[in-house]
Structure 1
Amino acid sequence: MIGCIADDYTGGTDVAAALRRAGLRTTLLFGIPRPDLRLPADSEAVVVALKTRTVPAADAVEQSLRVHGWLRRHGAGQIYFKYCSTFDSTDAGNIGPVTDALLDATGSPMTLICPASPGHGRTVYQGHLFVGGTLLSESPMRHHPLTPMTDPSLVRVLSRQTSRPVGLLPLPVVRAGREAVAAHLERLREGGIRHVVVDATQDGDLQTVAAAAEDFAVLTGGAGLAGARGDLLAGIRAPATRHDPITGPGIVLAGSCSAATLGQVDRARAEFPSYRLDPAATPDPEALLDKADAWLRATYDGTPVLIYSSATAEQRVAGIAAMGEKTADILERALGALARTAVELGARRIVVAGGETSGAVVAALGVDAVVVGDEADPGVPWCATTGTPPLRLLLKSGNFGSPDLLVRAMKETP
């Protein structure tokens, strides 16, 4: 069994979708698993999604090590640390500190740093991360409110997060094949390199790297390398099993401020009744939630609605000026509370845009495990809860999805 630790909830759904797509029977858990939680006996991949991307590094390390121990006790032979394909982090971490802790826990001398996910337009060349052909530092990620990415060099970024040496696996070596990759990695290991940034611009590159690193106790990266490992573990790409659809009323809750989500929200506003959580207009947190809750109760009749806090840079500045530095936390908690109201009113299909928002909604609904189903878009799977009432969740990373994803998710039967 492969065990994955994801640093946010939508990252968890992304990597779970990649493993399921490879043909592995995949279970997705939210938060540190309960000691008494029992996995399905046929699980071949288990993904534990945490909310550690932006917490203090010491907290991220502590939670990740607890999950590592739980996964090992439940039979995980290889640990995969999943972070965003745009390497979302700050100079303090948390990618470097968590990776170091996992290597120390397993006694491993080396791991790979591989955020490349060509299917999502994330590629790495000469150690530099590109988003859709644009350097990371020139992409919309440079304006991210929590983890602005202004340096495209993964070697430099990671070197600011760890005291351990960082090296590079260049593309010509990857293209030379598995044996060349294995030999290069051995030379780096002998030279004391701890972290190896991987060049990859095509899915075939990831397949080569995954094969060369099959014996690594710890791997790290985006969903691309995890999917390549899943392909090797599954042997063949098995057909995905469709799940019985959960029909019924739906709601979209959007908190991400990424350019992709802002465009998707604009599409959804043109189709559905919508309400914006605006901290500049209503700076009191209790009043902000009360007004939105009243609107939802008065408006919701079983047809789709949209509630969003997604905002432009100017709107975010105005909101923080009015409500303070805790604005993002307040908005996430409000969206979680509104998800509870929506379920109370009969919503059974819940679409969430944004990693932090997804974490708040899942926590508010008390969901700790789901069955991973079919993907609405690459890396964005429908997930079925196992509790009562049964829900279908679509947790979307801010940058993921086609422009009409939110609309399709409400109009199509998953």
Structure 2
Amino acid sequence: MILGVIADDFTGATDVASMLVRAGMRTVQVLGVPDPQKGALPEADAVVIALKTRTIAPADAVAQSLAALQALRAAGARQIYFKYCSTFDSTPEGNIGPVTDALMAALGTDFTIACPAFPENGRTVFKGHLFVGDQLLSDSGMRNHPLTPMRDANLVRVLQPQTRQRVGLLRHDSVGAGADAARTRIVQLRADGVAIAVADAVDNGDLLTLGEACADLPLLTAGSGVALGLPPAYARRGWFSPDDHAATLDDLTGPAAVVSGSCSEATNGQVARWLAAGHTALQVDPLALHQGTQTADAVLAQARAALASVPVLVYATAAPESVKAVQAALGVQAAGELVEHALAHIARGLVAGGVRRLVVAGGETSGAVVLALGVAQLRIGAAICPGVPWTQAALPGSGEPLLLALKSGNFGGPDFFVQALQQAGVAL
């Protein structure tokens, strides 16, 4: 193994794995902290361990991340990569800072970078400020995120309260000048006592530069974008040869469905486009679930009946004002758990009923669904859009294959659901 990745949610894990596969690295995603009694990690150029640690208590996030690190180091990983969201989702307490501190201590390193940039999806960092498209992060829809509202675009200022170490800036004038200039600046930052440098990146060229400049660091922390630059750097060092067939998955048939729990602007637009096109959809209402006037089993029965003829969307996606009303009535955590459990139950029932091509929208929802299915590993296939690949799992017990697309809430264009299903061979 060359690269071991610790991802703080399941969609983020497939996101970074997709970038690695795209560059020819044989990549396997493992779901949850590996059990050492069940054997070694799979053989691959890169292994991504998908955790669900983005919004849990910092101490728990640190413990799970260190357990994942131990498994990756035992498997011989040359470099460790802590992957978080391209919108730097976090709170003043973490979990990006605490996990980074713990990984640095465990690896015995005094320096790493922090770079959530993913230019192909409109996430760029300039002078330490994160942009979503043409907007500062603080002006984007992320300012209304129900769990991690991001109201400051200055990443140095966001990260500093989360860590015990000094945060600095690897500016674009250094990155834009090439890998040697970036390496020289890193030496200067370390000499000045900077332990974590927020790295500017405005295009893929900057990501390639960062990959080359940082390929020999013990630890990287980033969104998925930096992963684009690492395989070429590894290949130049003679560590692996790119595989043109790294993204090949099986062709599957049978019913197909979409389960959506994300309430991001992007996913709201995708649900709206699906509804406007007249495709079959069923809405899950958190308040109705709480009151008992709607049940997950009833929605599942309706969905399975519809699947006899057409793909179906089951969604709890809602506008920010609706989400706030539900959270006010039920509490933030209770509302989220209620929806996650319902959608996971429905997804498990759909797969039990024969669905073999399943799209899941939302990081928390994807984590809940994958855990409910009992899936342990994913093979990574071709991208549907930047950051979202199709993946293939083996169902527990039967070993039957299942195609899964786990989509971060913020990713994909308005027609993503249709685009994903059509790429998997579904007629719409």
Length-normalised TM-score, structure 2: 0.93
Is the 2:286–2:338 contact (alpha carbons within 8 Å) kept by the matching residues of 1? no
Q: What CA distance in whole angstroms lies between the structure 1 residues aligned with 2:121 and 2:211?
A: 18
Of residues 354, 357, 370, the one that matches 1:362 is 370
Are the structure 2 counterparts of residues 209 and 298 from structure 1 closer, same or farther at C-alpha, using a change threshold of 3 Å? closer
Indicate the SS of the match to 2:11.
helix
User: After the TM superposition, which residues 193-342 of structure 1 pair with which residues of structure 2 at under 5 Å, given as runs?
Assistant: 193-235=194-236, 238-240=243-245, 241-269=247-275, 270-284=277-291, 287-325=294-332, 326-342=334-350
Corresponding residue for 1:168?
169
Q: 5+ residue gaps in structure 1?
A: none
1:373 maps onto 2:381 in alignment = yes
**Larger mean Cα displacement after TM superposition, 56-65 or 267-276:** 267-276
CA distances 1:304-357 after superposition (whole Å, capped 9, x unpaired): 001000111121123234444301111011100001110121111110000000
Q: CA deviation at 1:78?
A: 0.4
Shift of 1:285: 6.0
| Distance in 1 separating the partners of 2:421 and 2:215 | 40
Q: Could you report, residue by residue, the CA deviation over 1:348-389 in whole angstroms, capped at 9, with x for unpaired residues?
A: 111000000000000010011011011111111111113323
Partners of 2:407 and 2:370 in 1: CA distance: 12
Deviations 1:11-53 (A, max 9, x none): 0000000000111000111111121244443x10000010000
Moved more, 146-155 or 117-126: 117-126
Q: Which residue of 2 aligns with 1:390?
A: 401
User: Secondary structure, in 3 states, of the residue corresponding to 1:263?
Assistant: helix
Task: Give the alignment partner of residue 414 of structure 2, picking from 387, 403, 410.
Answer: 403
Displacement after TM superposition at 1:278 (Å)? 0.9
Aligned amino acid, residue 254 of structure 1: S
* 1:137 shift after superposition: 0.4
Tell which deviates more after alignment, 75-84 or 313-322.
313-322
Paired AA for residue 364 in structure 2: E
What does the per-residue CA deviation read over 1:165-192, in whole Å, with 9 as the maximum and x for residues that have no partner? 0111111111222222111111111111
Is the alpha carbon distance of 1:215 and 1:411 closer, same or farther for their aligned partners in structure 2, counting shifts above 3 Å? closer
Q: Which amino acid aligns with 1:264?
A: Q
Equivalent residue letter for 2:100? T
Task: Determine the structure 1 residue equivalent to 2:185.
Answer: 184
Q: Which runs of 5 or more structure 2 residues have no equivalent in the other structure?
A: none
CA distance in 2, matches of 1:396, 1:360: 13
Instruction: Give the corresponding residue for 1:345.
Output: 353
For 1:386 and 1:294, locate their aligned partners in 2 and report how far apart those are by CA, in whole Å: 24
Q: Is the 8 A contact 1:300 1:345 kept in 2?
A: no
Q: For residues 386 and 292 of structure 1, what CA distance do their matches in structure 2 show?
A: 26
Quote the sequence identity (%). Answer: 50
Q: Any idea what SS the aligned residue of 1:307 has? A: strand
Match of 2:102 in 1: 101
* TM-score under structure 1 length normalisation: 0.96
Q: Which moved more, 1:283-292 or 1:266-275?
A: 283-292
Q: Which moved more, 1:262-271 or 1:368-377?
A: 262-271
- Quickly say closer, same or farther: Cα 1:298–1:212, change in 2 above 3 A: closer
Runs of 4+ in 1 over 6 A off after TM superposition: none
Identify the residue that residue 149 of structure 2 maps to in structure 1. Answer: 148
